Amino acid sequence: MTSYGVVLFFTTSSAIRAEKRLQKEGLRIKLIPTPREFSSDCGIALRFEWADRERVCSLLEGARIEVESVRCCLD
Protein backbone atom coordinates (compact mmCIF):
# COMPACT_ATOMS: atom_id res chain seq x y z
CA MET A 1 0.00 0.00 0.00
CA THR A 2 1.50 3.39 -1.01
CA SER A 3 0.77 6.58 0.76
CA TYR A 4 0.62 10.14 -0.47
CA GLY A 5 0.32 13.49 1.19
CA VAL A 6 -2.11 16.35 0.75
CA VAL A 7 -1.33 19.95 1.60
CA LEU A 8 -4.39 21.99 2.54
CA PHE A 9 -4.39 25.77 2.15
CA PHE A 10 -6.43 28.73 3.28
CA THR A 11 -6.63 30.28 -0.17
CA THR A 12 -6.29 29.26 -3.81
CA SER A 13 -3.52 31.81 -4.24
CA SER A 14 -1.37 29.83 -1.81
CA ALA A 15 -2.13 26.56 -3.60
CA ILE A 16 -1.00 27.98 -6.94
CA ARG A 17 2.01 29.55 -5.32
CA ALA A 18 2.96 26.21 -3.75
CA GLU A 19 2.52 24.42 -7.06
CA LYS A 20 4.90 26.86 -8.75
CA ARG A 21 7.51 26.56 -6.03
CA LEU A 22 7.49 22.75 -5.85
CA GLN A 23 7.38 22.27 -9.61
CA LYS A 24 10.51 24.39 -9.87
CA GLU A 25 12.27 21.79 -7.71
CA GLY A 26 11.05 19.00 -9.96
CA LEU A 27 8.85 17.37 -7.31
CA ARG A 28 5.99 15.12 -8.42
CA ILE A 29 2.95 17.05 -7.33
CA LYS A 30 -0.58 17.76 -8.53
CA LEU A 31 -3.31 20.19 -7.66
CA ILE A 32 -6.52 18.33 -6.86
CA PRO A 33 -9.98 19.22 -5.57
CA THR A 34 -9.75 19.12 -1.78
CA PRO A 35 -10.81 15.62 -0.69
CA ARG A 36 -14.13 15.98 1.09
CA GLU A 37 -12.93 14.03 4.12
CA PHE A 38 -10.80 17.04 5.03
CA SER A 39 -12.47 20.19 6.09
CA SER A 40 -10.44 22.82 4.33
CA ASP A 41 -10.67 26.52 3.71
CA CYS A 42 -9.72 26.14 0.09
CA GLY A 43 -11.27 24.13 -2.73
CA ILE A 44 -7.89 23.16 -4.18
CA ALA A 45 -5.29 21.00 -2.41
CA LEU A 46 -1.84 19.82 -3.41
CA ARG A 47 -1.05 16.14 -3.65
CA PHE A 48 2.54 14.97 -3.25
CA GLU A 49 4.55 11.78 -2.68
CA TRP A 50 4.65 11.09 1.03
CA ALA A 51 8.36 10.25 0.78
CA ASP A 52 8.97 13.90 -0.21
CA ARG A 53 7.18 15.18 2.89
CA GLU A 54 10.14 16.84 4.58
CA ARG A 55 11.31 18.51 1.41
CA VAL A 56 7.81 19.75 0.57
CA CYS A 57 7.31 21.18 4.05
CA SER A 58 10.68 22.89 4.17
CA LEU A 59 10.29 24.39 0.68
CA LEU A 60 6.85 25.77 1.52
CA GLU A 61 8.13 27.15 4.78
CA GLY A 62 11.16 28.66 3.06
CA ALA A 63 8.88 30.42 0.56
CA ARG A 64 6.66 31.62 3.44
CA ILE A 65 3.60 29.98 1.89
CA GLU A 66 0.86 29.67 4.47
CA VAL A 67 -0.40 26.12 4.89
CA GLU A 68 -3.54 25.04 6.74
CA SER A 69 -2.34 21.49 7.34
CA VAL A 70 -0.49 18.55 5.79
CA ARG A 71 -2.29 15.20 5.75
CA CYS A 72 -1.27 11.68 4.97
CA CYS A 73 -3.55 9.47 2.85
CA LEU A 74 -3.39 5.83 1.83
CA ASP A 75 -4.04 4.75 -1.73
Partner 1 sequence: MIYLDNAATSWPKPPEVIRAMGQVLESAGGNPGRSGHRLSIAAARWVYQTREEIAQFFQVSDPMRVIFTGNATEAINLALKGLLRPGDHVVTTSMEHNALMRPLRALESQGIRLTVVPCFRDGSLDLEEMARAVDGSTRLVAMTHASNVVGTILPVEEACRIAHRAGALFLLDAAQTAGAIPIDLSSLKVDLFAFTGHKELQGPPGIGGLVLGEEVEVSAIEPLVRGGTGSRSEWEWQPDFLPDKFESGTPNLVGIAGLLAGLRWIQERGIISIRSHLQGLRQMLVDGLREISGLEVHGCLDSERSVSIVSFTCSGKRVSEIGMRLDEEYGILARVGLHCAPAAHRTIGSFPEGTVRLAPGILTSRDDLVRTLEAIRKIVGS
Instruction: Write out the residues near partner 1 by the rule CB under 8 A.
Output: 10-17, 19-20, 31-34, 39, 41-45, 64, 66
Find out whether 51 and 29 touch, Cβ atoms under 8 Å.
Answer: no
In angstroms, the CA 17 to CA 31 distance is 11
Question: Would you say 41 or 51 has its CB closer to partner 1?
Answer: 41
Question: Would you say 13 or 58 has its CB closer to partner 1?
Answer: 13
CB 19 → partner 1: shortest distance, Å? 8
Give which of 8, 16, 13 is closest to 39, Cα–Cα: 8
CB 41 → partner 1: shortest distance, Å? 4
